[in-house]
Amino acid sequence: MKLRTRLGGAVALVALAFAVVVVAGSPGALATQGSPITAGQGNSETAVTRLYNTTAGFQGCDAVTPNPSTSGLFVCGSHGLMGAGTAAGLFGITEDSSTGYGVEGKTVKGTGVYGHNTGSTGIGVWGQTGGTGSAVYGEATVNGAGVFGDSPAGTGVQARSTTGTALNVLGKAKFSRSGLAFLPSGSNHVTVNMSGATTGSMILATVQQKGPFFVKNVVPATGSFTIYLNKAPAYPNTVIVAYFVLN
């Protein structure tokens, strides 16, 4: 009788120990489909998990269809997702070696990806590649600008290369400080008004037609420059001169 009682107690202890090991040794089991998110543990699901702040003024988060539908986490708010870190606030990685995106931003009318630096120095967006690809690539599929650089007083776009090519233009190049000047009959010079021109501006000019005419000199001034020909065209002829202001 005593032996049977002792065996029954031992079996019960073994069963209890087994249950503790199973529960304690399976942390991911606490966060499966339909369960709360468990911090510090792996969370698995078969549908998109949504997180949203209802006080942020974002309405209809449940009505938005995540694309792709296989996304792991979908977040809504004034800022859908915000991260802070000593190395990177947000880090994205893709396993696709050819067409995947580490970080992808999408918008209908706004800005897909926006990077800004609030200090007096630094970089808003940095792109880097270790091979022959492009560190930063911009594409306009219709009539927009692939890459647009803007600065009110600094340099809009700066190109630099130590031993290679700083700027390589494939296609037409258009400059706002170039154009055509027309010299009417009876005049051997014409003045072109241009904002930003100075007495130190370097100006290239050449006649755009056949004949005995050529550009004798170009005299820059503040806000303008004057093109002089070797002689004035006779009536009813007009001479066309192309110009390009470098600085």
Q: What is the pLDDT of residues 94-108, one digit of tens each?
A: 876 677 888 888 888
Separation in Å, CA 119 to CA 65, 87, 123, 124, 149: 37, 17, 9, 10, 19
| Confidence category of residue 58, pLDDT binned at 50, 70, 90 | low
Q: Percent helix, strand and coil across the chain, each rounded to 5? A: 15, 20, 70
* Per-residue pLDDT, 106: 81
* Per-residue pLDDT, 69: 65
Record the pTM. 0.65
Residue position matching structure tokens 């005593």: 2
Mean predicted confidence (pLDDT) in 108-129: 86
Tokens of 9: 């107690």
Residue 6 has pLDDT above 90, yes or no: no
Mean predicted confidence (pLDDT) in 10-39: 50
Q: Determine the Cα–Cα distance for residues 247 and 241; give it in Å rounded to an integer.
A: 19
Amino acid at 68: P
Q: Determine the Cα–Cα distance for residues 236 and 182; give it in Å rounded to an integer.
A: 13
Q: Greater confidence, 110 or 163? A: 163
* Per-residue pLDDT, 113: 87
Mean predicted confidence (pLDDT) in 212-216: 97
Q: CA 230, 233, 237: angle at the middle one, nearest 5?
A: 150
Residue 219 has pLDDT above 90, yes or no: yes
What percent of the chain clears pLDDT 90, i.e. is strictly above it? Answer: 40
* Per-residue pLDDT, 25: 42
What percent of the chain clears pLDDT 70, i.e. is strictly above it? Answer: 79
Q: Determine the Cα–Cα distance for residues 78 and 84; give it in Å rounded to an integer.
A: 16
Q: Determine the Cα–Cα distance for residues 84 and 88; give it in Å rounded to an integer.
A: 7
Average pLDDT over the chain, rounded to an integer: 82
DSSP letters for 180-201: EEEE-TT-SEEEEE-TT--TT-
Which phi and psi (to 5°) does residue 86 adopt?
Answer: -75, -30
Residue 247 carries which DSSP code? -
| Confidence category of residue 79, pLDDT binned at 50, 70, 90 | confident
Q: Which residues pair with 239 in a beta bridge?
A: 183
Residue 183 burial by Cβ neighbours in a 10 Å radius (0-12, 13-18, 19+) = buried
* Per-residue pLDDT, 210: 93
* Per-residue pLDDT, 76: 80
Q: Greater confidence, 211 or 60? A: 211
Question: Poorest-confidence range of 24-33, 165-174, 192-201, 236-245?
Answer: 24-33
Residue 153 has pLDDT above 60, yes or no: yes
Beta strands 239-245; 178-183: pairing state: antiparallel
Separation in Å, CA 21 to CA 16, 35, 57: 9, 21, 46
Highest mean pLDDT pick, 41-45, 77-81, 153-157, 200-204: 200-204
Which is nearest to 205 in space by CA: 247, 245, 246, 242? 242
* Per-residue pLDDT, 215: 98
Tell me the helices (H) and strands (E) count for the chain, helix number first.
Answer: 1, 8
Report helix, strand or coil for 110.
coil
| Confidence category of residue 161, pLDDT binned at 50, 70, 90 | very high
Separation in Å, CA 22 to CA 14, 18, 41, 123: 12, 6, 16, 51
Residue 53 has pLDDT above 70, yes or no: yes
